[in-house]
Amino acid sequence: MKKTEEILKKIRKNTVEIVPEEELIKKLNRGKPLRIKFGADPTAPDIHLGHVVILRKLRQFQELGHEILFIIGDFTAQIGDPSGKSETRKPVTKEKIIENTKTYAEQIFKILDKNRTKLILNSQWFNNWSLEDMIKLSAHYTVAQMLARADFSKRYKQNTDITILEFIYPLLQGFDSVELKADIEIGGTDQKFNLLVGRELQRDFGQEPQVVITLPLLEGTDGVKKMSKSLNNYIGVTDFPQDMFGKIMSISDELMLKYYQLLTDFSLEEVKEQHPRNAKRSLAKHIVSLFYDEKLSRQAEKDFEKIFVGKEIPENIEEIKIKEKTIWIVNLLVKADLVKTKNEAKRLISQGGIKINQEKITDENLDLIMDKEYILQAGKRNFKKIVPLS
């Protein structure tokens, strides 16, 4: 019993809810490896620090001897998880889903033990479903039950569209648990409804219901909304070291403590004794080292000092080779991945947020003659070296 209490203490750390804890204790006391499920839809190519909060908890379960079932929702991504959304999500193409799935597989093993992780695509079973299968699944939940969900209820009261597909999504995620006979499913607090649907469906299908564990949501660099690629407030695990370091240094002192709590094993008491700027710098170095190495972490710190203190250009900048003889600045910004859209490029130029060779540009109609190299800068910390293709 003492051993179970010690394990429970570890599991409880940084969790919001365990539903129900008494069932978790029963499962742990059996002394057998448990099947821990976590699912992610590859609607975007990058895993960010918000995902890392959950990946760290999954890694903890691996160290306790349990098996991780990492579900890549290549089928459900076509619908899009409505959790926490105020409007219907735009569909993602199959081609983009396939591309993103490959990057997910590469990124999660920066945290998880590959030997104790099963990567599973939920298209393995859903691609074989008939309309009859879908009708039978839909019969397990009522519209009233769906509208009891907070985000659906809010949208319904505001006369904001809710598609039938969005009602189906929690059922599909829940059926993943049935298919895999999951013992535990982990997710953010915004996922609680979906996780509980999985628990109910397992019971309906004659299985022992999974225990649900929810974890806190990590706010993004804006310090307000949860970290999300669509909100452009994320810190991706594949961000360049300099970008990762700079983004972490930009967060508030208050949010820094939450990042320490959810993303590291450092003592918060010791962190609070440091000057906030020094503590933030240590956090940035630690996170960069986690996904790269200490050498690149030190270089990222040096580059940060050059950019923000010395107002200089960093040493290591990604090169973008351009074959055109002349190129419109707006197209160049998109091609260099400094912005996502032409409209964003035009907006940044009008706001004075674009520099070429450290000089601000204000003309969105500018055509660059590609007869030499340029240092292109977007915002305070995003640099690219533009090189003519000889």
The tens-digit pLDDT sequence of the chain (390 residues) is 558 899 999 999 999 999 999 999 999 999 999 999 999 888 777 789 999 999 999 999 999 999 999 999 999 888 866 665 555 556 678 888 888 888 888 889 999 999 999 999 999 999 999 999 999 999 999 999 999 888 888 888 999 988 888 899 999 999 999 999 999 999 999 999 999 999 999 999 999 999 999 999 999 999 999 998 777 889 999 888 888 999 999 999 999 999 999 999 999 999 999 999 999 999 999 999 999 999 999 998 988 887 776 667 777 788 899 999 999 999 999 999 888 788 888 988 988 889 998 889 999 999 999 988 898 988 877 889 899 886
User: Which two structure tokens, joined as six digits, stand for 201?
Assistant: 């469906």
Domains in the chain, CATH or no CATH each: 2-215 (3.40.50.620), 241-308 (no CATH), 319-388 (3.10.290.10)
User: Which two structure tokens, joined as six digits, stand for 230?
Assistant: 């669509």
Contacts of 50 (CB under 8 A, 6+ apart): 188, 217, 218, 220, 226, 227, 228, 234
Q: State the pLDDT at residue 309.
A: 64
User: Which two structure tokens, joined as six digits, stand for 157?
Assistant: 């009261």
- Using a cut of 0.85, tell me whether the model's pTM lies above it: no
Q: State the pLDDT at residue 77.
A: 87
Of the candidates 171, 172, 199, the one whose C-alpha atom is nearest the C-alpha of residue 185 is 199
Q: State the pLDDT at residue 316.
A: 72
Q: State the pLDDT at residue 11.
A: 96
> Taken in order 250, 293, 258, 210, is the CA torsion positive or negative?
positive
Per the CB < 8 A criterion, the answer to whether 158 and 184 are in contact is no
